[in-house]
Each structure stands twice: as structure tokens, then as C-alpha cells.
Amino acid sequence: MRHERVTRRTLLATGVAAGVAARAERSREAPGAQSVAPLLTGEPAGVARPDTGVSVYPFPLSAVTLLTGPFLANQGRTQAYLKFVDADRLLHTFRLNYGLSSSATACGGWESPTTELRGHSTGHLLTALAQSYANTGDTAYKTKGDYIVGVLAQCQARAATVGFNTGFLSAFPESFIDRVEARQSVWAPYYTLHKIMAGLLDMHLLAGNAQALTVLTAMAAWVRFRMDRLTQTQRQNMLDTEFGGMNEVLANLYQVTADANHLTTAQYFDHAEIFDPLASNTDALNGYHANTQIPKAIGAIREYHATGTTRYRDIAVNFWDIVVGHHTYVIGGNSDGEYFKAPDRIASQLSDSTCEVCNSYNMLKLTRQLFFTNPARLDYLEYYERTLWNQMLGEQDPDSAHGFVTYYTPLRAGGIKTYSNDYNDFTCDHGSGMETHTKFADTVYFHDNANTIFVNLFIASTVNWAAKGVTIRQDTSFPETNSTTLTVTGNAAFTLKLRVPSWAAGATVTLNGTAVAATPGAHVTITRSWTTGDVVAMTMPMALTRSATPDSATTQAVKIGPIVLAGAYGTTNLSALPTLNPATLTATSTPLQYTATASTGTVTLLPFYKMHHQRYTVYWNVTSAQPLPEFVAWYKFDETSGTTAADATGNGKTATLAGGTAWVAGRGGNAVDLNGSTGYVTLPAGILAGAAAATVATWVRIDTLTSWSRVFDFGSSTTANMFLTPRSSSGTARFAITTSGSGGEQRINAPAALPTGAWTHVAVTLNGAVGVLYVNGAEVARSTGLTLTPASLGSTTANRIGRSQYADPYLDGAVDGLRLYSRALSASEIAALYTSGT
Ligand SMILES: [Zn+2]
């Protein structure tokens, strides 16, 4: 069944409606997040069961107010549509289905009276109205939502009268459920029912509508009735048809009501064919309709929160890792023609139907639930940021007063965005768009259940932390400027955790003008008694980088910080990726706007979120090598367990401990302890590939001095390598580099061996023919005859601390604070490293 779906294009092109085995997509809700917030923040009551396995929570939408900026502008356009749209037109097919009169004009598109998916948009609308009311307090949204709920209740009450089972509520007849159970052609009836159920739950939780919970509970009882009548095999077969987030909304309802019947019903929608491989962390997604699967993972994490069963958590975590790691384009979206492909197929899957926006809507929902579960994983928020700016913000037409949105995000060269309309579209993405653009306030800040507030995203806004009596205002025009400022109003003791993005190498943070240590890819944590007027400011340098696809090293996208830049091509279509000369990228006077020379001539690059009404390319053909960052890697070795060592530059060059290497107290924080017999540390392949200049600087404490042991040795073999030994057979320390074995070594010989039993700072700088060896901040030797550079070694595969390419002794000692640069630091910079002790 899942392969019998029709895409939107097919549907619209052929006028397909009833009778075609098909599908839909998308889903929605907020309850997952919102349902936990009320209990913990004094919001309206209504959640009976706290979530298990959660340590971070969202603020209620009412507590966060967006300030002037692109997100508020998008929200305003969608909310104008919410006020405009005629509820009676979206209730027309419901009324007809229950024998009630309706004089409303029928909708078109996927809400036409003959489209099998009819009714789904009414559910999306309820959620968008509930979110808008919760966020703005404008009762116009609640009034419209209440009216819709009232009519839906009126319909549901007539179920028996028109021959349906009690509790059935839909704009299509209950016979559609007979058909999906009998495995006959029908377009995803439970998908649509999920949208209605989620909308009702949101009207209850976010807009205080008690009738919505009554109607929803009756719907849930009807679902239980239908599912109970089936065998487990029949149920599992039925789950081959897209069903949205039925397991999620029912798990949420269980959390709200504590009625275990809803959990049982939720678990009837656990799709073994999808869950089983995910539980064992197997990527079996190739060939599956993407947005049919993503909501199942959202349901899984909510079932974990409801039950504590870790298998559900593992399914959701593994799904996210697989999709983000191996099926995701640079803008954060996934799927081509709505389907997952083989892992790491990106460059080979650039089309007009890439990145259905519903998928990303659902991935973001999943991402925040996973962060609640594991706030140590800042990569969740980095994915959130990347997708929010590069896909979601730019899916809405800024020239549409009603916030019309895209369905796919074409990523073929020459693609162009196309948008929905008021009444003749109503695709899944029109529905998820209503939701996306009314909940930007939901992830900017989180809090824990005690004393900590998290600043996740750089969006101009205020958050009212009622539990502390504190308001924090965030002023920023990021990404057009690279800074943000947080100003506290109120007096309270608490911890502020500010996310320092991994892309912001060199980021600085100040508290009331005084510098605070900041590491990209980690939180800055400030605990104090805050008072009105306290200011935390952060600057986030945004470097121009390129991101290559996994299946084609020369297919690359250009980014400034996290923002994807796309080439603007006006009305010019393209038949192939243009070839970009990255050396010609030049900033213009307009923020984030560049010009460059490409095979098509001079081209302007804009942030992709600003690309509208013209053709574009996101990916380019780039044949020149990617330059290394200046500060390549920095291993503080401050971990306390495990076998990985983080790269504090944020470049992601994670190191791996091997052979029994242990953590030991180092120079402020920890160090790695090398045992002299088996222990070493491996750095990523190609760590200095292409570098014409370099610096390796580190602290080392040699416990037992053995000739030919290695402080470091980067190479691919005994033929090609560069190393530093604390003592060569000449009796002194030596740096050497070679591409022709030991006989071809070019060397810097120190006057003495490295000292033992004390922390010693050693550094080697290479620049042109000059190599300098420093010990404890002072030059001890140099060579002016070096013709080899790290680039001469190619992309080295065996880059180690403490171990030679040869069968030499291993290092017996400890290593701390190792830094790699793609330039030669100056003598004063080396001296400063020594003096500062870092
Ligand atoms: Zn969709």
C-alpha cells in the first residue's frame, strides 16, 4: 500500500480524488511539549501524568513573545489567514457527512467534497488557532476555534443517527475505515483523524476548551472499538497505510487523562515493520514514504515519556540519528519525491520534489522531544536551528498577506518555490504551515524543573519566567548581525545556559561587560543572583564555509555560519549544477549577500530563506579543495569517561582513545594518560590535509623517557608521516617530516631531550621552508630547509598521539590541551599559550 501513494503533483495533475489508493502526509500537534508545561509552570491544569525520562521543558506559549523580526512577520501573515479563513467552509463536508445543512461554498484542493483526505485541514486549523490564542491572548482565535469544536461536537452527536458507530467524527464516511481495515484502496483515513484529534487536544490544552476534550475522548473510544475488533495481524497490516501520529496523540491523551485505555490504543499503532529495525539501530528506511514514518518516531518518544520503556526511546533516538545523519539535505529537509532513498544519497537526489516541508515540521517536533530527553545533545538544537532558518522560515511567501507556503523545497539547480492559496490547495503542507508559523515561540527558551533556563535560539523575543518572577528580553537581528543580547528584569538566583553554536569559532560572551569563557558547541553556564539590568551579550563569528554531500565531494553548498546561501538565477532555468569558483565569493554591502563567479557568469548569492519568486541553486559543483579552518582542532581532554575526546573548536574533529588510554587529572581539568605499552589517541583522517602551514602545540608530561616514542605522529605509513619524538637516537627531541621514509626525513633537532616528570609545553610551527620547535614557550631549534608541508602528506589516515607509524615504543606519560592550526603561530602566540597554561 505504501507504494501506491500519489504525490501532490500527480494528484493535482490528474484530478485524482476518491478511489485511488493513495496517501497524504504530514501531521502535527504541540501537545507533546505543551502537555508537560502546564503542570510545571502553573499554566492551566489538565495533565494528569508527568512525563518519564524528561529533564527539560518548554515554556508555555503564553510566556514567550516574539519581537520584531522575520519570525514575527511570518507569524503575522499566517495569523491574518487564520482570521480570514471561513470556518463554515472548513466545516461544510463535516456537516454534510452528518446530514446537517450547509450553505457554505465547498473548498477545493485536498478539501474538496470528493477528496478522500477531506477534513484534515480543519484539524490543522484548530491547532493553529489554539497556538495563536495561547501565544497572543487574542480571543478572536479562541472564538473561532470554539465555534469549530462546537460544530464538530454537534456532528459527532449525530453519529448513530446517520449510521456511524458512536464517537466517529470525520468529514468522510466511516466506510473509509472499513476499507483501510480490509486493505482496500483509500487515502489514509487515520492520517486525517489524527489531525482532528490533535487539533481537539490543542484546543483543550492551549485554549481551555473543555468540550474539545470530551469530543476527543469519544473519538479515542471509537478508535479503541475499531482496533479491538481486529487481530494483531490485521492491525499491523493496516498500519502499512499512512496514519499520521495516532500513537502520539493517544499517548498524549493518556498523559492528560491517565486513562490507560488510551495507552493501549496508542500501542495498537506501534508499527513493528518500522520499529523493529530502528530498535536495533538499522537503517532500513530506503523506499519508505518519509512523512509516513516520521510521526511514528514522534509517537515512540511520547510512548517512552508515557511508559519509561527504553525501547521506545531507542527507536526515536536511532531514527533521528539515521535520518539526520544519512538522509538530510543541507537545509535540514529530507526525502526525494516524498521517499527515503538509500543512505547518503544526496547529490544524486536533487529534484523539484525534494524536502517535503511536512517532513521537516515533524522532524523539528521529534527533535525538541529528544532534547527534552537528553539536553546534553546540543546537536539536536543545531539541527533545529539549521532547519528552522534554512527551510521553515523561507517556506512562506513574504509577498502573500495570508502566509502561503510551499509543499516541496526543490533542490535541483534551477528550482523555484511555489505556494499554496486561500481555498483551492489545502495540501498537507498548507496545514502544517498554519502550525509552523504560529509556534515559533515554542523552542527559543526551555527550563529545567529547578533553577535553570536554556537560551536555545537567537530570535528577538521576551520570556516571562513566572516561577522566578523574571523576564529576559533577547534583542538580536541574527543572522543579519552576529550578536545577541539578553537583558534581565527582576531579581532572582538562577542558572542561565546560553547555547554557543558549534559554527561560531571564536565566539565571545560577556556578563555586564566582563568576559565569560565560551566554547563553541557547548553551553555557557552562568549561575548567580541576577538583578534588573544584568546583560549577557554574545558575538558569534559567522565564517563562510562549504558543505559537501556524502555521495559527491564536489557537490557543495555555501554557508555563512549556519545560513545556507543560494545562487539567485531569476527567470533562468538551469540544466546542471553551475560550477562555482569559491575564491571569488565577495561580500556585498547587503548583509549575508555575496557575489561570485560561476560557470554561468557572475551570480548573486542570498540567504536561501530570502529566495522567493525566482529560480535558484542551493548546491554547486566545486572542484577546488575546501580550505581548512585556521584553528583546526583543540583537545582539552577534560572528559571524565568514555573513549572520545571533543574538539573544542566546534569543528567536530572528535578524537578517540585507544589501547587502554585513561583519563587522569591534568592541567586544570583532565588529561589523557598513556600507559607506555598499548595506549594512544587517534585523530580524524586528513586532520591537516591540504595545509601548507601548520602548528601543533600541546602540553605533555613524560613519565618514562624512551627513544623514538612519539608525542604525535601524523601519517599514513612509515613512508609518509610527520612526528615529534621526545628523544631520537641522537639523544635529543626531534621533529621530522617525510614522504619517502626515514631516509628522506627533513628534521628539526632540539638541543636536548624533552624533560621528564613535569608538564612541558611543546610546539612545532611550519611555514614555508621554516620550521620552529618551541619548548615551554621559547624557541629551542629551527630549520630553514623544509620543502615538505602537511599538504605533501596528502590526506593522512593514521594520526596519533603517543604512537609511531613504526614499531617504536609507545609514549609513557600524559597529554593535555593539544591544538592544531593551519597556520604557523608566531613566537609571541606560542609564548602566550605557554604562559596562559591552556
Ligand atoms: Zn506535506
**Strand runs labelled E in 705-759:** 712-715, 721-725, 734-738, 746-749
pLDDT in tens, 447-501: 998 899 999 999 999 999 999 999 999 999 999 999 999 999 999 999 999 999 9
**Cell numbers representing residue 145 in the block:** 476555534
Contact indicator for 241, 2 with CB cutoff of 8 Å: yes
In three-state form (DSSP H/G/I as H, E/B as E, the rest C), the secondary structure along 126-179 is HHHHHHHHHHHCCHHHHHHHHHHHHHHHHHHHCCCCCCCCCCCCCCCCCHHHHH
CA 211 / ligand 1 centre spacing (Å): 29
What pLDDT is stored for residue 10 in this prediction? 39
In three-state form (DSSP H/G/I as H, E/B as E, the rest C), the secondary structure along 686-717 is CCCCCCCEEEEEEEEEEEECCCCCCCEEEECC
Question: What topology is assigned to 8-442 in CATH?
Answer: Glycosyltransferase (1.50.10)
CA 444 / ligand 1 centre spacing (Å): 24
- Percent of the chain whose predicted confidence (pLDDT) is above 70: 94
CA 296 / ligand 1 centre spacing (Å): 15
CA 475 / ligand 1 centre spacing (Å): 33
Q: Select from 330, 386, 389, 391 the least CA-distant residue to 359.
A: 391
CA 437 / ligand 1 centre spacing (Å): 15
CA 832 / ligand 1 centre spacing (Å): 55
CA 18 / ligand 1 centre spacing (Å): 19
What pLDDT is stored for residue 629 in this prediction? 81
Contact indicator for 243, 223 with CB cutoff of 8 Å: no
What pLDDT is stored for residue 1 in this prediction? 24
Matching CATH topology for 8-442 and 445-478+483-539? no
CA 490 / ligand 1 centre spacing (Å): 43
Cα 455 to Cα 525: distance, rounded to the nearest angstrom: 10
What pLDDT is stored for residue 626 in this prediction? 63
Question: Of residues 242 and 785, which shows the higher confidence score?
Answer: 242
Query: What length is written for the chain?
Result: 838
Residues 6+ away with beta carbon under 8 Å from 20: 6, 185, 187
CA 357 / ligand 1 centre spacing (Å): 6
Confidence of residue 6 (pLDDT cuts 50, 70, 90): very low
Long-range contacts of 722-730, Cβ-Cβ distance < 8 Å, separation of 24 or more: 722/788, 722/790, 722/793, 723/804, 723/805, 724/696, 724/762, 724/764, 724/773, 725/804, 725/808, 726/700, 726/702, 726/753, 726/754, 726/811, 727/753, 727/754
**Cell numbers representing residue 78 in the block:** 499566517
- The DSSP call for residue 334 is B
CA 117 / ligand 1 centre spacing (Å): 12
**Element (DSSP H or E) covering residue 462:** strand 461-465
In three-state form (DSSP H/G/I as H, E/B as E, the rest C), the secondary structure along 50-69 is CCCCCCCEECCHHHEEECCC
How many H helices and E strands in the chain? 19, 36
Q: Is 459 helix (H, G, I), strand (E, B) or coil?
A: coil
* Alpha-carbon radius of gyration of the chain: 29
CA 306 / ligand 1 centre spacing (Å): 27
Cα 104 to Cα 124: distance, rounded to the nearest angstrom: 19
Looking at domain 445-478+483-539, which CATH architecture does it have? Sandwich (2.60)
Cα 68 to Cα 588: distance, rounded to the nearest angstrom: 24
CA 104 / ligand 1 centre spacing (Å): 26
Cα 445 to Cα 449: distance, rounded to the nearest angstrom: 13
CA 635 / ligand 1 centre spacing (Å): 43
CA 323 / ligand 1 centre spacing (Å): 17
Which of 432-441, 711-720, 736-745, 828-837 has maximum average pLDDT?
432-441
CA 239 / ligand 1 centre spacing (Å): 19
**Element (DSSP H or E) covering residue 362:** helix 357-373
In three-state form (DSSP H/G/I as H, E/B as E, the rest C), the secondary structure along 487-550 is EEECCEEEEEEEEECCCCCCCEEEECCEEECCCCCEEEEEEEEECCCCEEEEECCCCEEEEEEC
Please compute, for residue 759, the number of CA atoms within 13 A of its CA located in the half-sphere on the CB side.
17
Burial class, 416, CB count within 10 angstroms (exposed 0-12 / middle 13-18 / buried 19+) = middle
CA 362 / ligand 1 centre spacing (Å): 10
Which residues are 351's β-sheet partners?
Answer: none
Q: Look at the pTM and tell me if it is higher than 0.95.
A: no
CA 388 / ligand 1 centre spacing (Å): 16
Cα 479 to Cα 561: distance, rounded to the nearest angstrom: 8
What pLDDT is stored for residue 17 in this prediction? 30
Cα 838 to Cα 832: distance, rounded to the nearest angstrom: 9
What pLDDT is stored for residue 785 in this prediction? 83
CA 432 / ligand 1 centre spacing (Å): 7
CA 699 / ligand 1 centre spacing (Å): 54
Contact indicator for 454, 614 with CB cutoff of 8 Å: no
CA 342 / ligand 1 centre spacing (Å): 21
Cα 481 to Cα 229: distance, rounded to the nearest angstrom: 59
Q: Select from 481, 482, 479, 483 the least CA-distant residue to 610.
A: 479
Tell me: pLDDT of 163 over 60.
Answer: yes
Tell me: pLDDT of 510 over 50.
Answer: yes
Tell me: pLDDT of 42 over 90.
Answer: no
CA 797 / ligand 1 centre spacing (Å): 43
Cα 585 to Cα 590: distance, rounded to the nearest angstrom: 14
Q: Cell 478539501 sits at which residue? A: 111
What pLDDT is stored for residue 627 in this prediction? 67
- The DSSP call for residue 269 is T
Q: How far is CA 72 from CA 81, 132, 135, 352, 437, in A?
A: 14, 12, 12, 29, 9
Helix, strand, coil share of the chain (percent; to 5) = 30, 25, 40
What pLDDT is stored for residue 625 in this prediction? 64
CA 360 / ligand 1 centre spacing (Å): 9
Give the domain ranges of the chain: 8-442, 445-478+483-539, 544-621, 631-836
CA 336 / ligand 1 centre spacing (Å): 12
Cα 4 to Cα 790: distance, rounded to the nearest angstrom: 54
CA 428 / ligand 1 centre spacing (Å): 4
CA 509 / ligand 1 centre spacing (Å): 40
Sign, Cα dihedral of 182, 183, 186, 188? positive
Cα 555 to Cα 576: distance, rounded to the nearest angstrom: 11
**Cell numbers representing residue 284 in the block:** 532500513
pLDDT in tens, 634-680: 999 999 999 999 999 888 899 999 999 999 999 878 999 999 999 99
CA 309 / ligand 1 centre spacing (Å): 30
What pLDDT is stored for residue 409 in this prediction? 98
Contact indicator for 457, 434 with CB cutoff of 8 Å: no
CA 433 / ligand 1 centre spacing (Å): 9
CA 609 / ligand 1 centre spacing (Å): 19
Mean pLDDT score, 261-279 = 98
CA 381 / ligand 1 centre spacing (Å): 23
**Cell numbers representing residue 276 in the block:** 523493529
CA 292 / ligand 1 centre spacing (Å): 10
CATH of span 631-836: 2.60.120.200
CA 191 / ligand 1 centre spacing (Å): 12
CA 299 / ligand 1 centre spacing (Å): 18
CA 796 / ligand 1 centre spacing (Å): 44
Collect residues with CB below 5 Å from ion ligand 1: 25-26, 356, 358, 428-429
CA 429 / ligand 1 centre spacing (Å): 4
CB atoms within 10 A of CB 146: 20
- How, if at all, do strands 492-500 and 452-455 pair? parallel
Mean pLDDT score, 46-60 = 92
CA 406 / ligand 1 centre spacing (Å): 9
What pLDDT is stored for residue 38 in this prediction? 35
CA 411 / ligand 1 centre spacing (Å): 16
What pLDDT is stored for residue 61 in this prediction? 97
Strand order in the sheet with 57-58: 57-58, 445-447, 452-455, 492-500, 522-530
Please compute, for residue 673, the number of CA atoms within 13 A of its CA located in the half-sphere on the CB side.
12
- The DSSP call for residue 804 is -
Cis before 479? omega within 30:
yes
**Element (DSSP H or E) covering residue 767:** strand 760-767
**Cell numbers representing residue 568 in the block:** 539567485
CA 791 / ligand 1 centre spacing (Å): 47
CA 30 / ligand 1 centre spacing (Å): 17
CA 337 / ligand 1 centre spacing (Å): 11
CA 407 / ligand 1 centre spacing (Å): 6
CA 488 / ligand 1 centre spacing (Å): 40
Q: Is 390 helix (H, G, I), strand (E, B) or coil?
A: helix
Cα 617 to Cα 416: distance, rounded to the nearest angstrom: 9
Tell me: pLDDT of 251 over 90.
Answer: yes
Q: Report the alpha-carbon angle 239-243-244, nearest 5.
A: 140
Q: Is 116 helix (H, G, I), strand (E, B) or coil?
A: coil
Q: How far is CA 88 from CA 84, 93, 103, 413, 681, in A?
A: 12, 9, 9, 42, 67
- How, if at all, do strands 760-767 and 770-775 pair? antiparallel
CA 359 / ligand 1 centre spacing (Å): 7
Q: Select from 581, 579, 609 the least CA-distant residue to 593.
A: 609
- Give φ, ψ of 221 to 5 degrees: -65, -40
Mean pLDDT score, 771-792 = 91
CA 7 / ligand 1 centre spacing (Å): 9
CA 26 / ligand 1 centre spacing (Å): 5
CA 464 / ligand 1 centre spacing (Å): 34
